[in-house]
Amino acid sequence: ATLAGVEVVEAEIKRGLDIVGTGDMGIGNTTPSAAIAAALTGESPAKIAGRGTGVDDEGLKRKISTVERALAVNQPNAKDGLDVLTKVGGFEIGGLAGVILGAAANGKPVMVDGFISTAAAMIAVAIAPAARHYLISAHRSKEIGHGIMLDWLNLKPLFDLDLRLGEGTGAALGISMAEAACKVLAEMATF
């Protein structure tokens, strides 16, 4: 999955891509994302796992318990991003991590969307720490653990709009902001 992500972004770079926006679409992928974040940060799953698309109190308890069990059973090595990915991640997160790694390897910035994309960014940075320098956080997700993840990556989000979306909506907003900033720097007249 990670290599497929690299291949996709490299093909797009050949077609002229100059900035990447990450995003995801799925059901249940905040659970492996929380497991990745807990494994890499050392924080408890209760501090990371949130309500996702809006689970009730019982659902949140099950989610936290699932993350705790996944970490206990699989014992991911926090010093090995690929080990964490293979033991508690998912294919979509691996693909996004590959996109990030491929973009960074080609000197292209990556606008990171919400919770799941940030988990993928954590995997990418755990695999290749220099990839962190190509990351821009689009927004702070409403998920409770997202701030912990952003702190681990040393990223400050451009927006804090209480978004629960992960489909790249925040990344699209962030890319627009980045393009506007570049135009101000390159095209705006000065005194």
DSSP 167: S
Ramachandran quadrant class, 152 (left: phi over 0; alpha: psi -120 to 50; beta: rest):
alpha
- Residue 122: its H or E element: helix 115-127
pLDDT tens for the 191 residues of the chain, in order: 999 999 999 999 999 999 999 998 878 899 999 999 999 999 999 999 998 878 899 999 999 999 999 999 999 999 999 999 999 999 999 999 999 999 999 999 999 999 999 999 999 999 999 999 999 999 998 889 999 999 999 999 999 887 776 678 889 999 999 999 999 999 988 77
Of 58, 167, 179, 187, the active-site residue reads 167
Separation CA 93–CA 45 (nearest Å): 18
Q: Is 167 a catalytic residue?
A: yes
Per the CB < 8 A criterion, the answer to whether 83 and 1 are in contact is: no
As a whole number of angstroms, the distance between CA 50 and CA 63 comes to 8
Query: pTM score, two decimals?
Result: 0.95
Task: Write 129-134 long-range contacts (CB < 8 A, 24+).
Answer: 130/104, 131/100, 131/101, 131/104, 133/104, 134/100, 134/103, 134/104, 134/107, 134/108, 134/109, 134/110
